[in-house]
C-alpha cells in the first residue's frame, strides 16, 4: 500500500537564487528543507535525525562557501545518512567522482547548469 506522506528532500546550495529555484521546483512533489552552508546541512540533518524525522534525498552543491560538498557528503554518510546527489558548476576530477560513487557516498553527480525537469526526474529515480 502506498503512503500519502510526501517524501522529504533537503537542498544545500549557497547561491540563494539557485536554492530558491530548486526548492520551488521540488516543492511541487516533495516537502523541501533548505540550507545554504555545509555546516547548516550537517547540523540540520543531525537535528532532524535526532527527532526521528526522515530525509529521503539531499541535493548537495559541491562548492559551498564554508566547505566542499564531498566533505559534507562523507560526514552525513558517516552518520548513517541519506541518498545524495552532488551538483557542481565546476568540472570535478573523475577519480573524485568515481570514488564517491563507488564508495556509495553519493548516488549521482550532476553538472550545472541543470534543467529543472532534470531535478525532478533525478529525484524520482533516486528516491524510488
Domains and CATH numbers, the chain: 8-127 (3.40.50.2300)
pLDDT tens digit sequence for 81-116: 899 999 999 888 899 999 999 999 999 999 999 999
The CA distance from 27 to 71, in Å, is 27
* DSSP 8-state code for residue 6: P
Q: Are 14 and 36 in contact (CB under 8 A)?
A: yes
Q: Are 29 and 12 in contact (CB under 8 A)?
A: no
pTM beyond 0.85: the answer is yes
Q: Tell me: pLDDT of 35 over 70.
A: yes
Q: Tell me: pLDDT of 1 over 50.
A: no
Amino acid at each position: 500500500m502506498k503512503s500519502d506522506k510526501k517524501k522529504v528532500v533537503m537542498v544545500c546550495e549557497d547561491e540563494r537564487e539557485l536554492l530558491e529555484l530548486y526548492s520551488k521546483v521540488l516543492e511541487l512533489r516533495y516537502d523541501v528543507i533548505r540550507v545554504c552552508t555545509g555546516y547548516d546541512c550537517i547540523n540540520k540533518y543531525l537535528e532532524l535525525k535526532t527527532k526521528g524525522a526522515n530525509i529521503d534525498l539531499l541535493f548537495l552543491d559541491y562548492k559551498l562557501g564554508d566547505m566542499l560538498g564531498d566533505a559534507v557528503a562523507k560526514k552525513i554518510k558517516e552518520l548513517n545518512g541519506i541518498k545524495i546527489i552532488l551538483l557542481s558548476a565546476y568540472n570535478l576530477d573523475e577519480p573524485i567522482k568515481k570514488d564517491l560513487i563507488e564508495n556509495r557516498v553519493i548516488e549521482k553527480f550532476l553538472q550545472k547548469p541543470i534543467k529543472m525537469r532534470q531535478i525532478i526526474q533525478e529525484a524520482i529515480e533516486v528516491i524510488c
